[in-house]
């Protein structure tokens, strides 16, 4: 039996939207063909928002259904909750209901607060880096994680739901104009570069760079150590840099990124986004995903791309009016370092510490090449369906270490029946769900035997006369 869908109580959001439109409750009720008392109950969260009313609102005011989605609220709540675990807020005791009220009644305030907190986070990280440069002491670096430009760009992609409409449509238009074929391989892109730009593509085993473009003699050199699928991706990446400079500039300019380094990182990320969109054009890819029930290995064959590339593309399918399943996407190495993370869902990734050790993305390394399935539940009670699998890269040669990663793709549990991977799993069995968290440092589950660290801001309880199975006991 499929899990019953959550009822939508969006009264505050509906009331705020109505007031912004300058419409009275009676007038809106008449337009929606419902009674004023019914609308009053909806706005006061005494009645859930039904699908017919939601569709009428969307049609009446010509707005996307995402305007009334709970996912954006969930993401704001998650980010607020994590930011309040910072030691800066020593006496913070804001519970989940308070955070929900803040996001529901004052979403702009919540976003502005997060912008301010990120600025503080940046200043603190910059200070730590400066102190290390001056002293040479690694101990002064108290901020964990990657350097700020990468973190800022990740936040920017996250805020955009990992979807860039102008860039995605430009890739789709080029696919049609150039009469490219799904899974057509590198030959069609090599011919395109030659005919449209006068660029010759060469493959060089001696060149240590993956891709090197020389504008003066119009040559693009790719490493022979790249797989065919990797070469195709690099060709598409180069086409973006040649043809979409104006689009990239506009997106980066509107992103209000703090530094030139962040802008450079963002440009590379956007060009990679375009490459994926060109190899897997939106509407064609969306149609195939539904026909194949999101079978990643089948999609690999159809579009001649890698497992990781399909997973990443699936996390971008959020075009207004033609959305796919909102997925999150993650890539980790064997040490648990997160090198990629994107989300079009309400799933939130940690800024502090690594990913939860109970997540199946870590278990994937013990079973290389096998797709693992998991139903996981976050501390807020929301359940997710996740698949994970290892991917391996080699740069050639016996003495050259392989690069081993695990990638994870997941969605909220109500979308799981659409996935071929859910076959044979009782999605309604809540007791079978694995309790995971964002990370140990911000997870407040008191009874987790796998906990690596106590949560930030909690008082540790130590009794020298007792020893429990749980690694940490703390005040909840």
Tell whether 135 is covered by a domain.
yes
- Number of domains into which the chain is organized: 4
H-state helical runs in 244-369: 245-254, 260-279, 282-291, 296-303, 307-314, 360-363
- How large is the average pLDDT for residues 111-123? 79
Q: What is the pTM of this model?
A: 0.72
291/338 same-domain check: no
Q: Do 92 and 58 reside in the same domain of the chain?
A: no
pLDDT reported for residue 146: 41
Percent of the chain with pLDDT over 70: 84
Residue 77 is predicted with a pLDDT of 79
Q: Is the pLDDT of residue 82 over 80?
A: no
Kindly tell me if the per-residue pLDDT of 136 is higher than 60.
no
The yes-or-no verdict on residue 383 having pLDDT over 60 is yes
- The answer as to whether 228 is a domain residue is yes
| 295 shares a domain with 256 | yes
Q: Is 4 part of a structural domain of the chain?
A: no
Q: For the segment 197-243, what is each residue's pLDDT rounded down to a tens digit?
A: 999 999 987 777 889 999 999 999 998 888 899 999 999 999 999 99
Residue 302 has what pLDDT? 97
The C-alpha atoms of residue 119 and residue 367 are separated, in whole angstroms, by 41
Nearest to 97 by CA among 79, 77, 127: 77
Higher pLDDT, 1 or 172: 172
Task: Assess whether 157 and 288 both reside in one domain.
Answer: yes
Beta bridge partners of residue 353, listed in sequence order = none
**CATH code of the domain covering residue 193:** 1.10.10.2910
What pLDDT was estimated at residue 401?
75
Q: CA–CA separation, 221 vs 243, rounded Å?
A: 18
Q: What is the pLDDT of residue 2?
A: 40
- Burial tier of 365 (Cβ tally within 10 Å: 0-12, 13-18, 19+): middle
Q: Report the distance separating Cα 111 and Cα 345, nearest Å.
A: 17
Residues 37 and 106 both lie in one domain: no
Residue 219 lies in a domain: yes
Q: Which residue has the higher pLDDT, 387 or 158?
A: 387
**Domain final position from 126, 143, 160:** 143
Q: Out of 321, 344, 374, pick the residue that ends a domain.
A: 321
Residues 433 and 338 in one domain: yes
Residue at 3 is within a domain:
no
**What's the CATH code of the domain at 432?**
3.30.450
Mean pLDDT of all residues in 87-102? 73
**54 and 77 part of one domain:** no
| Mean pLDDT across 239-268 | 94
Could you tell me the residue range of the domain that residue 117 belongs to? 73-143
pLDDT band at 409 (very low <50, low <70, confident <90, very high): very high
Same domain, 474 and 440: yes
Alpha helix positions (H), 106-210: 107-135, 148-159, 165-177, 186-197
**Residue 123: both structure tokens together:** 């200043």
Residue with the larger pLDDT of the pair 315 and 97: 315
Which of these ranges, 24-33, 91-100, 159-168, 432-441, has the smallest mean pLDDT? 91-100
Q: Are residue 118 and residue 79 in the same domain, yes or no?
A: yes
- Claim to verify: residue 148 and residue 287 sit in the same structural domain: yes
pLDDT tens column, 15-54: 777 877 788 888 888 888 888 888 888 888 788 877 778 7
Domain final position from 288, 321, 354? 321
Domain match, 392 and 459 both: yes
pLDDT of residue 4: 37
């Amino acid at each position: 039996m499929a899990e019953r869908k959550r009822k939508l109580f969006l009264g505050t959001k509906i009331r705020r939207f109505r007031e912004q439109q300058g419409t009275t409750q009676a007038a809106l009720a008449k337009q929606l063909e419902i009674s004023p008392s019914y609308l009053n109950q909806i706005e006061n969260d005494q009645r859930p928002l039904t699908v017919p009313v939601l569709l009428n609102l969307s049609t009446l005011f010509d707005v996307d259904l995402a305007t009334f989605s709970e996912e954006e609220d969930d993401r704001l709540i998650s980010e607020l909750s994590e930011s309040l675990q910072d030691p800066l807020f020593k006496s913070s005791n804001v519970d989940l209901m308070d955070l929900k009220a803040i996001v529901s009644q004052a979403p702009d305030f919540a976003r502005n607060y997060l912008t301010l907190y990120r600025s503080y986070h940046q200043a603190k990280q910059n200070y730590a880096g400066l102190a290390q440069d001056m002293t040479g002491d690694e101990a002064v670096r108290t901020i964990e994680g990657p350097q700020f430009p990468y973190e800022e760009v990740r936040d920017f992609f996250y805020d955009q739901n990992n979807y860039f409409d102008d860039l995605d449509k430009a890739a789709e238009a080029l696919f049609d104009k150039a009469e490219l074929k799904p899974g057509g391989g590198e030959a069609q892109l090599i011919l395109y570069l030659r005919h449209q730009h006068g660029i010759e593509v060469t493959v060089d085993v001696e060149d240590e760079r993956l891709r090197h473009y020389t504008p003066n003699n119009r040559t693009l050199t790719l490493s022979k150590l790249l797989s065919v699928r990797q070469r195709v991706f690099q060709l598409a990446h180069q086409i973006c840099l040649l043809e979409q400079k104006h689009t990239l500039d506009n997106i980066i300019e509107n992103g209000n990124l703090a530094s030139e380094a962040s802008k450079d990182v963002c440009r590379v990320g956007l060009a990679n986004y375009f490459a994926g969109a060109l190899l897997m054009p939106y509407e064609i890819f969306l149609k195939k995903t539904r026909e194949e029930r999101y079978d990643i290995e089948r999609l690999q064959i159809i579009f001649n791309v890698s497992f990781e590339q399909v997973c990443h593309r699936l996390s971008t399918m959020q075009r207004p009016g033609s959305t796919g399943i909102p997925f999150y996407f993650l890539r980790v190495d064997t040490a648990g370092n997160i090198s990629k993370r994107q989300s079009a869902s309400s799933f939130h990734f940690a800024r502090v510490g690594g990913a939860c050790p109970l997540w199946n993305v870590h278990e994937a390394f013990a079973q290389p090449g096998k797709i693992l399935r998991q139903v996981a539940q976050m501390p807020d009670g929301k359940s997710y369906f996740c698949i994970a699998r290892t991917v391996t890269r080699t740069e050639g040669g016996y003495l050259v270490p392989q690069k081993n990663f695990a990638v994870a793709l997941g969605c909220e549990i109500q979308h799981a029946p659409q996935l071929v991977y859910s076959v044979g799993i009782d999605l309604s069995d809540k007791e079978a769900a694995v309790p995971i968290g964002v990370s140990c440092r911000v997870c407040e589950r008191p009874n987790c035997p796998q906990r690596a660290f106590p949560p930030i801001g909690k008082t540790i309880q130590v009794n020298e006369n007792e020893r429990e199975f749980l690694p940490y006991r703390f005040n909840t």
